[in-house]
Amino acid sequence: MKIRFLLGILFLISSFNLKAQEKFSVNMNLKTEPTDKINFNETKISVSFNKEINSKNEITNKLEYSNLNVNYDLGSFESFENLDQFNQLKYELGIFHQITKTAKVNFTIIPTANFQRNLDFSDVSLLGSFKIIKQLKSNTSINIGIERSTIFGNPKFVPTLSLNYKINETSTLLIGFPDSKISYSNNIRNTFNLTNSFNGNFYNLDHQLNLPNNATKVITSQMTSAFEYERNMDKNWFINFKAGYDFNKKYNLIDSDNHKFYDFNSGNGYVLGIGIKYKQ
């Protein structure tokens, strides 16, 4: 039922008309990450709207909802089997401003609500980033900045740095932290990517749960290396596939002082994903 409803939204928005300086997209992705004793399954849908205000300023908007289901092997974690579903709702507001002919800044604010089943005002957190983008050559740019993100689980400030290089008309290279990517497109319909990213999240637990040591949240984090393929089906519709592996995967319970007191020792595992996108 949930999947049919989300797909209905994708087809509904295909009738929207936008101006030339406006961009609109809707994404829906399904991902599974099985490990030795725990399986992680995520459903995510996002709506993006970008508008070019003038030659120097652009505003980006993105609203995203994700649901993470966690399935434990029978009898492995009997005390924690109620920790089986987590939700996130977040909104990203980004501003790009051209400060010189070869440099621009990007400021992003991301209010997010991470909760188990029952949403509360205390579940709201504020993330964001500030980046400077400098064009070094016609085919080379560098990004440097700082962000408050959840790539290591708990929200914290981390530096970001990347070098973007256009190898030729069909290939690009992004090297940096937290994301790196090699991209190749053999025609207008096919895009192949090799990616490496540090990623994670946290979820506040419902207050009525009876867990030891005042557990307040769970965190997940990993480094994911993957092969991705995207196919342009027609003018506006795209499908994508992802296959990869999670390294150094962590799934822990955290107390109110952000101290780890229980490690599920989930272990590493492969990643499989499929998605559909509408873009205009």
Q: What are 218-233's pLDDT values in tens digits?
A: 999 999 999 999 999 9
Compute the distance between CA of residue 67 and CA of residue 44 in angstroms, rounded to an integer.
Answer: 6
Residue range 241-266, pLDDT digits in tens:
999 999 999 999 998 888 888 999 99
> In this predicted structure, what is the pLDDT of residue 212?
56
Compute the distance between CA of residue 113 and CA of residue 104 in angstroms, rounded to an integer.
Answer: 30
- C-beta of residue 249 within 8 angstroms of C-beta of residue 268: yes
Q: Answer yes or no: pTM beyond 0.85.
A: yes
User: Which one, of 277, 74, 252, lies nearest residue 154 by Cα?
Assistant: 252
- C-beta of residue 206 within 8 angstroms of C-beta of residue 234: no
> In this predicted structure, what is the pLDDT of residue 18?
54
- C-beta of residue 243 within 8 angstroms of C-beta of residue 214: no
- What totals of helices (H) and strands (E) does the chain contain, helices first? 1, 15
Residue range 105-162, pLDDT digits in tens:
999 999 999 999 999 899 999 999 999 999 999 999 999 999 999 999 999 999 999 9
- C-beta of residue 243 within 8 angstroms of C-beta of residue 226: yes
